[in-house]
Chain A
Amino acid sequence: ILNVEQSPQSLHVQEGDSTNFTCSFPSSNFYALHWYRWETAKSPEALFVMTLNGDEKKKGRISATLNTKEGYSYLYIKGSQPEDSATYLCASQHDYKLSFGAGTTVTVRA
């Protein structure tokens, strides 16, 4: 079991503000880093899968960066909207297995 940690556990953001949060993972035997968005009463949906050190991916107002040498990834939300409210999960992949962090729950206040 890989030790994947996410911080903070939860955060509140004012609509229109930007925010970011962290995922840390063991850098040894690294395969890939996944980000998923999990809305209440729905199933987790993939946002990004990153493999290379220095990778940056973007999807609309959400972007992510990856540092495999030091074992961390940041997820950024620019200009937060109420629909961004969700739990964001990161997962470190080893072989075909993913080990998930506990998630960061984002609540965007209108």
Chain B
Amino acid sequence: DAGVIQSPRHEVTEMGQEVTLRCKPISGHDYLFWYRQTMMRGLELLIYFNNNVPIDDSGMPEDRFSAKMPNASFSTLKIQPSEPRDSAVYFCASRRTEATNEKLFFGSGTQLSVL
């Protein structure tokens, strides 16, 4: 298995532009998580899905952020309009439901820089 695949690896954009981050979870994993890594707040959970349905989006910072999972193999995290404070590494992770304590598998992350 190729693991969790994220794209792009790096994104540089200007303030006000729309940014779309993409994630392909591991096949057979029914939970998908979006995390954001910053120096100030560490790894923080933004939203997670179960069987393509958003379960908890309480970590989404504001209305400029939205996430979708149209099918079991694809999810997007969109920021519109982007702001410099959105600059961070965004990770996608997936896991199975086999047991409640299954480990997370992380993608390689998207380094976002908003100028």
8 Å CB contact of A31 from B33, B45, B100? B100
Chain A residues with CB below 8 A from B42, complex form: 100-103
**Inter-chain contact total with CB atoms closer than 8 Å:** 51
Number of chain B interface residues as a range: 20 to 34
| Chain A residue nearest to B109 in the complex (CB) | A43
Could you tell me which residues of chain B, from 83 to 108, have a CB within 8 Å of some CB in chain A?
91, 100-108
Per the bound structure, the CA–CA distance linking A78 and B50 in Å amounts to: 38
Say yes or no: is B31 at the interface (Cβ < 8 Å to chain A).
Answer: yes
List B residues 59-115 near A (Cβ within 8 Å).
91, 100-109
Nearest A residue (CB) for B105? A46
Question: Chain B at the A interface: mostly helix, strand, loop or mixed?
Answer: strand
Interface residues on A, range: 20 to 34
Query: A42-B108, A43-B91, A43-B109 are contacts. A97–B48 as well, Cβ < 8 Å?
Result: yes
B108 in contact with A46 (CB, 8 Å): no
- Chain A residues 74 to 110 lying within 8 A of chain B, measured CB to CB, are 89, 91, 93, 95-103
In angstroms, Cα B106 to Cα A106, docked, is 21
A sample of 14 more A-B contacts (CB under 8 A), given A34-B103, A100-B35, is: A32-B100, A36-B104, A42-B108, A43-B107, A43-B108, A46-B104, A49-B101, A89-B43, A93-B100, A93-B101, A96-B50, A97-B56, A99-B45, A100-B44
